[in-house]
Every structure is written in C-alpha cells, then in structure tokens.
Chain A
Amino acid sequence: MTSPIVRIQHVSYAYESNYALQDINLEIPQGAFLGLLGPNGGGKTTLIKILLGLLKPQKGTIDLFEENINNFSNWNKIGYVSQKANTFNRGFPATVKEVVSTGLTANIGYFRFFKKQHRQKIEQAVDLVGMSAYLNTNIGDLSGGQQQRIFIARSLVSDPSLLILDEPTVGIDSKHVSKFYDLLHRLNEENGITLLLVSHDLGTITSHANGIACLNKQIHFHGSPETFAQLPEYELSKIYGHSLQVVTHDH
C-alpha cells in the first residue's frame, strides 16, 4: 500500500481557549473519495484551513505528500473549492476563461505572463467539467450549478492530486446536485484525483464517497460508508449532539 497523501497526527487547534479540534488523527490514501461529515461548528472548516496552511495547529503534525506541512511548498498539488466560491459578485465582468485562468496565477508566478500552454490547460479544465461551450460567457450569466463547475475547473487547472471541496452543493439547485456528484466520480475514477468533500449533509455524501470520517471536535468515526450506515443511532447522536436519521440515496 502506498503511503497516504495526507497524514494528520494528534492535531489540536484552539480559538482562544475553546478547542475546535482535539487530537485529530486522519489519513487520506491516494485515490480516496473521503466525505468529511460533521455538525456546523464541529471544526470541519478549521481542519481544512489547517490542511491549506492557513492556520497553524497548536499541537500535532501534518504531512502532505510525505512532506511535513511546514516544509511543503508544492501547493498547486492541492486544489480547493471554497464554501464561499459562489457568493461572488454576479455582476463582475469576467468570462469563464478569465475566472479559470486565476487558478494558474499563483503557479505562473510574479512578473510572468500567460502563454499558449496555459491557455490550453484552461480550455482542458473547462472541458473536463463539461462547460466548453461557455468559455467566453460572463460567469454571472451562468446558473448556480454551472458556476460551481467553473470553480472546480479553476481548481483543476493547476493539475492538483488532491481536491478539497468545502460544502460545494450549498446553494445549488437540487436537480443539479446529482450531476455535480457524477462529475466528482469522474474526476475520482477516471482522472485519479483524490477528493476530500466536506459536508453536513449525511444522506448524499454516504452514497457517493468511498470513505467517511465524522468530525465533531474529534474524529468519531472513520470507515466505509456501509459501516457508517449501520452505526446505531446513539453513536450518531453522540457525533451530532442530537438524534438524526441517515437517509441513504441510491444513485
């Protein structure tokens, strides 16, 4: 077995004196489609921010691609689609091509310009999410689901091995959600991209991901969706702090 591309060991993080994360241990193997579940305020976004190097944990170590996060510099290997990605100003005059190009800005670096090979990459990324017909359309003229695809293309354009999606389906029409998961499956299976999908929505995620981790300050469960579905209710309520039912969707 190859070593995991993300290894989190004994990580704790506190805002002031409140622990948001306590002694987290989690490994993500290459090629996984891991759903990270948990209630709002359970520390999901904090964990993501730590993985992206935006927050430094007070305790514990993190390895990304077998390198300690403090020495890690290959950030283009990690794509990130923020929860807030689709809260941008809809009147912003930018075409799909221009929006996706910003995914390469940091890669190309200061004082360098876009070249032909970059333009090809942009077109490929847009093609991968099935939006080629809209390359020159203003982003504000697209539907919410289409915009979400464009933001995924933006994070795919730098060829990441790991794609982190923070609540990507919030604010998307339910009829587009299943199409959206189809795209994620394609990226995972055909393109070999490891996915970490953060959500508070139990139902959809358990029927799509091939691994589930539950986070509420601590990791309460880490295993396959099948085992997760068979968890007794009191286990779940321990995670969520109240009782709830898991609805498994078929796809």
Chain B
Amino acid sequence: MLAQFFEYEFLRNTFYTGLLIGFIAPLLGTFVVVRRLSLLADALSHVTLGGIAFGLFMEKKYGILFLTPFYSGMGFSVLGSIFIERLRTVYKGFQEIAIPIILSGGVGLSVIFISLANGFNTDLYNYLFGSVSAVSERDLWTIIIITIIVLTAITLFYKELFMLSFDEEHAVVSGIHAKIIHFIFIVLTALVIAASLRIVGVLLVSSLMTLPVAASIRLAKGFKQTILFAVIFGELSVIIGLISGYYFEIPPGGTIVMISILILIITISVNKVRGYFTRKRAI
C-alpha cells in the first residue's frame, strides 16, 4: 500500500510533509491546548485563508507567481499572530476578543479576494480541505525549514515555555521575559499552521494541533509524556488519513481529522474501562 506513495514524486512529497507536520503540529499543539489557546489556532488558520485568497488573486489578476498562495498565506498568518498580540494588550480585560476579531477579519478578507479572483476553483478547494497532490518540492523544502525552526525553538525554550504555560505569574515573578517567549510561541504557531494547511486544509488545520493532544491528555502522566503521546497520535492520524484519503479519493483533511477523532474516542473509552477496573479493585 505504501509502495505507491513512493512511486510518484508528488505523493512522496506529500508523505514526507505529512510526517513532518504530524510531528510539529501536536508538539506545539500541546502548549496551545494547555494554555487554553485552542481557538487561537482557528483564528490564525482563517487569517491564513485570507492570505491564500490574496495569493490566488494576485496570481490570477497580475500573474505574480513568486508570491504563491502558500507563501502569502504564511505571511498573513504571521502578521495575524502579531496583530492578535497587539489586540490582547489593547483589550487587557477581554483577551479572548482578539480571536473573533482576527477570525472574522480573515474570513472577510478571504471573501473579498476570492470574489475578486473570480470565485471558487479547484486550487481553493484544495486549500480548504487539503490535498494529497498539492505539495511541490519547493513547498516540501519550506516545510522542512519550518520544522527545523520549530524544533530548535522548542528545544531552546522548552523550560521557559513550560513554566509560562503552567503558571504565568510565577514565571514573571522569577524574571522570565514572558512577552518575548509568548511572542516566539505565537509566531511558531502561525508557521506550523501555514506548514500544515497544504495537507490538512485551512478549515481543519487547528484540529491536528488540538485533537491528538486532547486524546493524549487523557492517558499521559506529565507534560513530556503528553507531548510524546500527542505526537504518536498525530503521526498515526496523518499516515492512516493520507493513505485512506488517497485510496478513496477524499481530501486528506477529512480522513485525518476523522482518524484523530476515532483515536480520541478510543482513548476516552480506554480510560473509562480502566477507571472501572481500578474502582472495582479498590472495593
């Protein structure tokens, strides 16, 4: 089954990309979830959609090809993340308000650029729901670079990120530069979203950051183990999702998310059963 994936170059690119995002999305997603910023990923993915629509528009109207939708999407995502941070300082008492502002802004931009670019096409459909054939070699290289950046940053700032996630006040009192660390974190999130959207699609990209973590939290002991299980679940979802998506000719975004949800349901039931037996033993 896997053999076919290595026969064609585009499938090979997709498969490697899948392995990379299956790793970095749940890795960063663990921090996103425990900091209760799951919706932030959603907001950023919609801004990314605005960027993609902008790229498609530029491509179609002006024939500008160097700024592919992938790159303009990434640019918008990073800009959006910086903008969210600004908004959060403006509305100190209502920090979550930044999320609907950015989310609706992203969708608004998308609608405008999509209609300016004369509407829906296959390309856009691929960006929305993911595709097994959308990753070019250049995209793959960009995603490899993003993976290296994310892994380096997480390794270097792991202890600070963890401290900030667990107890922000304590981190600030101890002299951790919370603002800088948070800024690095949010830009990383934007990059991971941009990297993942070729395969999972804009609408479902946040699920790859949150669903494996949701499953992992049910089983793991401690933070490192939560990351480890989340990455395993993420990789499983991506691999099974990509292969089944290819065979059934379904956009992989759908199959990957449904596999993640299946894993989530299994972990919840395993935990229930385990809880039942330990209770019985206790009696």
Counting CB contacts under 8 A, is B123 at the interface?
Answer: no
Residues of A within 8 A of B34 (CB): 89, 92-93
**Complex contact A75–B156 (CB within 8 A):** no
**Complex contact B223–A95 (CB within 8 A):** yes
What's the Cα separation between A198 and B176 when bound, in Å?
25
Docked complex: B154-170 residues within 8 A CB-CB of A: 156-157, 159-160, 162-163, 165-167, 169-170
What's the Cα separation between A85 and B173 when bound, in Å?
12
**Complex contact A102–B166 (CB within 8 A):** yes
Count A interface residues, CB 8 Å: 30
Counting CB contacts under 8 A, is B224 at the interface?
Answer: yes
Counting CB contacts under 8 A, is B93 at the interface?
Answer: no
Residues of B within 8 A of A191 (CB): none
**Complex contact A98–B173 (CB within 8 A):** no
> Are A80 and B173 CB-contacts (below 8 A) given A88-B167, A93-B220, A94-B222?
yes
Counting CB contacts under 8 A, is A111 at the interface?
Answer: yes
Docked complex: A156-209 residues within 8 A CB-CB of B: none
- Residue in contact with B221 in the complex, picked from A84, A105, A114, A138, CB distance below 8 Å: A138
Counting CB contacts under 8 A, is B128 at the interface?
Answer: no
- Interface residues as binary, A219-246 with B (CB distance below 8 Å gives 1, 0 otherwise): 0000000000000000000000000000
Residues of B within 8 A of A54 (CB): 172-173
Taking the closest CB of chain B, its distance from the CB of A152, in whole angstroms, is 13
Counting CB contacts under 8 A, is A1 at the interface?
Answer: no
Taking the closest CB of chain B, its distance from the CB of A179, in whole angstroms, is 24
By beta carbon, the residue of chain A nearest B165 is: A92
Taking the closest CB of chain A, its distance from the CB of B179, in whole angstroms, is 14
Counting CB contacts under 8 A, is B174 at the interface?
Answer: yes
**Complex contact B222–A111 (CB within 8 A):** no
Counting CB contacts under 8 A, is A15 at the interface?
Answer: no
What's the Cα separation between A85 and B167 when bound, in Å?
8
Residues of A within 8 A of B160 (CB): 105, 110
Counting CB contacts under 8 A, is B175 at the interface?
Answer: yes
**Complex contact B173–A114 (CB within 8 A):** no
By beta carbon, the residue of chain B nearest A88 is: B167
**Complex contact B173–A102 (CB within 8 A):** no
What's the Cα separation between A101 and B157 when bound, in Å?
14
Residues of A within 8 A of B176 (CB): 105-106
Taking the closest CB of chain B, its distance from the CB of A115, in whole angstroms, is 12
Counting CB contacts under 8 A, is B217 at the interface?
Answer: yes
**Complex contact A82–B224 (CB within 8 A):** no
**Complex contact B159–A136 (CB within 8 A):** no
What's the Cα separation between A126 and B170 when bound, in Å?
18
- Interface residues as binary, B220-249 with A (CB distance below 8 Å gives 1, 0 otherwise): 111111100000000000000000000000
What's the Cα separation between A52 and B34 when bound, in Å?
27
Beyond A98-B166, A101-B159, list 5 extra A-B contacts (CB 8 Å).
A93-B222, A99-B166, A105-B171, A106-B171, A154-B170
